[in-house]
Chain A
Amino acid sequence: MAETALTDTVASTTRPPGLRGIAADWSSDQRAFKNVSWGKAMMWIFLLSDTFIFSCFLLSYMTARMSTTVPWPNPSEVFALTIGDKKIPLILIAIMTFILISSSGTMAMAVNFGYRRDRAKTAALMLATAAFGATFVGMQAFEWTKLIMEGVRPWGNPWGAPQFGSCFFMITGFHGTHVTIGVIFLIAVSRKVWRGDFDVERRGFFTSRRGYYEIVEITGLYWHFVDLVWVFIFAFFYLW
């Protein structure tokens, strides 16, 4: 029933500003998110719950790091790469950050072209996003391999507090899983865009609901969230 999803009545679009408007929306005894489709609202609520999961990971990392009496390994040195003769601190992580930000940029533009019903550009930009994401996962696999070869394990490492390994594998592993799922999600949706499913409003395989370009934006929400989580991991785990 996609038709009911985007109701656009005067009652739903006009509201008093600020907190009064929020109270009016929430107490309207119908639906709290007036002009937001169920798909988008559900993705936001899922992302909220995912935020709590990553918050718990980062919090447990903070607790481990604050309560240990053994010095924490210096991430700046642990993640340094020797390029040529120079040892550059944290360079791989910096490149990964730029790649993920670029993928967010292409995703945002894909959403835009989707709503303009530009099939080819939308699909191409989504595939570019997926390619950036796959590159990111590849670099992460390289990083894991390097650290494991150097002797980092969930129960210990050569440089200091043993919790470093478990925090690192848990946090970056979970994030990498999210990126991987995102890449699969992107490829699936871009295939549908390319095939023109959303122009003819072809019904979905599972849901048998009419397809609409909004799914590109919903996919985008997930992808931007993956980028958002990386912003926090980059700040707290790699830079702190």
Chain B
Amino acid sequence: MTNAAVHVEGQQQLLHTHVHEALAPAATHAKGQQHPIKLYLVVWAWLFVLSTCSYLVDFFGIHGHLRWSLILLFMVLKAGLIVAVFMHMAWERLALAYAILLPPVLVLVFVAIMVFESDYTHFLRVMFFAPTA
């Protein structure tokens, strides 16, 4: 009973917003992506900071796991900012976002396969093709 009531109420609300939008079409419906310029400038500044950070990783010659994790961290943050804000993915419908963003993540499976493969190749090269004394 209560469920049905909530449902009806929700539909009324939908109807209400629809009517409202229909009455004020031009004002509420600016076409396309509209965001304040400041947002882009802030993201731009962050991209500069992150790029500088990843450059400094090399400049100071950080090595080993710390280097790789820092590089990956800055890379993912930069990529995320570009896709989410500059390419407006943050404001797109989920149906598009998932269709575009999920497949590249699956490339990681390919990465895993090739890691095994190259380890194996490396092993063979060391075992059978290494220059012997």
Contact = CB atoms under 8 A, between A and B. Distances in A.
B40 A105 contact: yes
Given A98-B51, A240-B71, A22 B40 contact: no
A62 B116 CA distance: 12
B119 A214 contact: no
Q: Is the interface of A mostly helix, strand, loop or mixed?
A: helix
B31 interface: yes
A227 B86 CA distance: 11
A6 B33 CA distance: 13
Interface residues of B, number: 60
A14 B95 contact: no
Contact of A104 (B31, B61, B86): B86
A217 B33 contact: yes
B79 A232 contact: yes
Interface residues of A, number: 65
Which secondary structure characterizes the binding site on chain B? helix
Interface in A129-144: none
Contacts of B118: 62-64, 66-67
B32 A217 contact: yes
A82 interface: no
A100 B92 CA distance: 25
B133 to A, nearest CB: 15
Contact of A98 (B48, B59, B85): B48
Interface stretch (A108-116, A169-177, A181-189, A199-207): A108-116
Interface string A79-110: 00000000001100010011001101101110
19 contacts: A21-B94, A32-B96, A33-B96, A47-B100, A51-B104, A55-B107, A62-B114, A63-B117, A63-B121, A64-B118, A66-B119, A76-B58, A90-B55, A104-B47, A224-B83, A227-B82, A228-B83, A231-B82, A232-B75
